Amino acid sequence: MKKLLRFSALLTAALMVFIMVGCGGGDEEEGDKTPPTLTAATPPSGAEIAANASITLVFSEKMGAVTVAGGVVTLGDGKNVTVAPAGEWPAGSATLIVTGTDVAGNELASQTLSYTIKAADKTPPDIDKAKCDPEGGSDGVDPASVTAVKIVFTETMKDVKVAKFEPSDAKVDAKFDGDKTVNIAFLGGYKLSNEMEIAVELTGTDLAGNALATTKYSFATMKKEE
């Protein structure tokens, strides 16, 4: 009898485990139910922009679809989305309504962005040599004073990439700040030396899609003391 009761208890316990496993716990959510949010816009709402300028939107979730009336949307990586005008944004005050859904199908609460639209920008951006660090084109730079390179542009850029860096043996990490600056850090303990020419080749466009007028930045370090 005792053996029968013991067997019955074991069978009941096993059955309870089977039921719990089969139900998957019962408390897990079926898919992602978190609605996406618009976390940032560049230029920000309230800014003055050119009639042919694009706008970058950043979302909290990867988006599956984004709609902006009068705009052409490029989803990119899903979280960083570009909106360009279908032609040009209308002059004066413009209100843009942003709607969409994330990849899980959750709906974005309608967002409103307001801009003042000025004339179309046809002027290509350039490197602001005087604001760069070291200054663009400078000579006799103390190599010990250069732990990183900062390249500044004359206007807000949509995208910038470092296509080439000399000396070629230097390991660097280039980061665009999303506005007017590219910061280049040296990796692996790399340090500049005397009588060295540092040259950076860049590609990039401003918010209106104009390509960089000058694609090269350079400076030279000082000569060795004799």
Residue 37: band (very low, low, confident or very high) from pLDDT cuts 50, 70, 90: very high
Residue 182: band (very low, low, confident or very high) from pLDDT cuts 50, 70, 90: very high
Place of tokens 């570009």: 82
Whether 95 contacts 117, CB under 8 Å: no
∠ CA 33-39-44 to the nearest 5 degrees?
Answer: 155
Q: How confident is the model at residue 10, as a pLDDT?
A: 47
Place of tokens 């980061």: 175
Average pLDDT over residues 85-113: 94
- Compute the residue count for the chain: 226
Query: How far apart are alpha carbons 88 and 120 in whole angstroms?
Result: 8
Place of tokens 């709906």: 107
pTM value is: 0.72
114: which strand partners? 95
Residue 69: band (very low, low, confident or very high) from pLDDT cuts 50, 70, 90: confident
DSSP labels, 6-34: HHHHHHHHHHHHHHHHHHTTS-S-SS--P
Average pLDDT over residues 54-75: 94
Per-residue pLDDT for 9 more than 80?
A: no
Is residue 106 domain-shared with residue 140, that is, in the same domain?
Answer: no
Q: Please list, residue by residue across 96-121, b when 16 or more beta carbons sit within 10 angstroms of its beta carbon and e when fewer do.
A: bebebbbeeebebeebebebebeebb
Query: How far apart are alpha carbons 78 and 54 in whole angstroms?
Result: 16
Query: In the chain, how many domains are there?
Result: 2
Average pLDDT over residues 145-170: 95
Whether 125 contacts 155, CB under 8 Å: yes
Q: How confident is the model at residue 14, as a pLDDT?
A: 47
26: which strand partners? none
Is residue 148 domain-shared with residue 110, that is, in the same domain?
Answer: no
Per-residue pLDDT for 107 more than 90?
A: yes
Last residue of a domain, one of 89, 118, 147: 118
Average pLDDT over residues 44-73: 94
pLDDT digits (tens, 9 = 90+) for 19-36: 444 444 444 345 678 999
Phi/psi region, residue 18 (left: phi>0; alpha: psi -120 to 50; beta: rest), is: alpha
Which one, of 204, 213, 210, 208, lies nearest residue 43 by Cα? Answer: 208
Is residue 203 domain-shared with residue 165, that is, in the same domain?
Answer: yes
Extract the tokens encoding 220: 């030279």
Q: How confident is the model at residue 135, as a pLDDT?
A: 97
Average pLDDT over residues 124-147: 96
Average pLDDT over residues 75-95: 93
Is residue 139 domain-shared with residue 203, that is, in the same domain?
Answer: yes
Q: Which amino acid is at 93?
A: S
Query: How far apart are alpha carbons 134 and 140 in whole angstroms?
Result: 10
Last residue of a domain, one of 118, 152, 174: 118
Q: Which burial class, exposed, middle or buried, applies to 186 when counting CB atoms under 10 A from its CB (0-12, 13-18, 19+)?
A: middle
Average pLDDT over residues 170-193: 94
In-domain check, residue 98: yes
Q: How confident is the model at residue 98, as a pLDDT?
A: 97
Domain span at residue 78 reads: 38-118
Q: What is the CATH number of the domain that holds 133?
A: 2.60.40.1220
Query: What average pLDDT does the structure give for the chain?
Result: 88
Per-residue pLDDT for 40 more than 80?
A: yes
Residue 22 or 192, more confident: 192
In-domain check, residue 145: yes
pLDDT digits (tens, 9 = 90+) for 138-148: 999 999 999 99
Query: How far apart are alpha carbons 191 and 179 in whole angstroms?
Result: 27
